[in-house]
Each structure stands twice: as C-alpha cells, then as structure tokens.
C-alpha cells in the first residue's frame, strides 16, 4: 500500500512540474485541465473542452481501478471477515453556528470542545 502512495505522490509532483514548465515556456497559449477526486466522485475542469474530456476519461479509469483493486484486496485468501465498529465525530462551522455530530458520546464531546476552541480563536483573531 505504501508503494501506491509513493507513486501517487510522485505523479502529483511530476504533474505540478509539467504545468509549471508549460506555463513558463508558453506564457500566452496555456491549455489546462484538471481532475479532483472527492471519494469516488470526479470533478473535471479544463480550459479547452478537449482537456475536460481527457480529465473525465482519466477520472472514469481511476474509479474503475479503485473498485477493481478494492474488491480484489478486500479480504486476502484464508482470512475471515471481522466485524469492526467505526467511531467518530465532527464539527461543521457555518459562520458562528456549529453543527456537531458523532457516533459516540465521547467523540461528540471532543468535537464540541474543539468547536468552542475554534470559535474562541476566531473571535480573538478578528479583534
């Protein structure tokens, strides 16, 4: 798994370098495209429509690879499925209004304390 992360990081750095080199070499005719993956949802954008289509195709390929590799490596042979309970919590701050949620009282309390700390820091920073 760590090799995939290293390869992904390397590809991102190569992409940034290529975009920078392209921008420096052709300051007037810049064509760009990009892909943002939020979970399995791709968001494609680009300056000419062709770049957007290319980004969408890459996004579809990534989604297919994600599901194919995820199914294959989910449970190695000879290993049983174990029940796991995932616990967590979070805070959504919409202006001064916090929305606190959690699957456990402890995590909701931690999220509430963090929300209060963030609001106090925001008030002190704005003064």
Instruction: Kindly report, residue by residue over 9-55, the tens digit of the pLDDT.
Output: 788 888 878 877 776 676 666 667 777 777 667 788 777 778 788 88
My answer on whether 63 and 121 are in the same domain is no
My answer on whether 26 and 63 are in the same domain is yes
In a domain, 80, yes or no: no
In a domain, 19, yes or no: yes
In a domain, 102, yes or no: yes
Total domains, the chain? 2
Ranges 19-28, 46-55, 84-93, 101-110: which has the least confidence: 19-28
Task: Indicate the length of the chain as a whole number.
Answer: 127
Confidence of residue 75 (pLDDT cuts 50, 70, 90): low
Q: Which residues span the domain enclosing 24?
A: 2-72
Rounded CA separation 61/55 (Å): 10
My answer on whether 7 and 62 are in the same domain is yes
Confidence of residue 87 (pLDDT cuts 50, 70, 90): confident
In a domain, 122, yes or no: yes
């Amino acid at each position: 798994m760590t090799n995939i992360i290293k390869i992904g990081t390397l590809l991102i750095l190569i992409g940034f370098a290529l975009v920078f080199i392209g921008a420096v070499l052709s300051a007037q005719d810049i064509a760009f495209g990009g892909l943002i993956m939020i979970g399995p949802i791709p968001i494609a954008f680009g300056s000419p429509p062709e770049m957007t289509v290319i980004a969408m195709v890459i996004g579809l390929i990534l989604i297919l690879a994600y599901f194919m590799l995820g199914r294959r490596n989910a449970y190695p042979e000879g290993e049983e499925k174990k029940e796991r309970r995932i616990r967590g919590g979070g805070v959504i701050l919409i202006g001064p209004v916090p929305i606190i949620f959690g699957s456990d009282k402890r995590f909701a309390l931690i999220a509430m304390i963090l929300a209060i700390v963030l609001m106090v820091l925001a008030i002190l920073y704005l003064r």
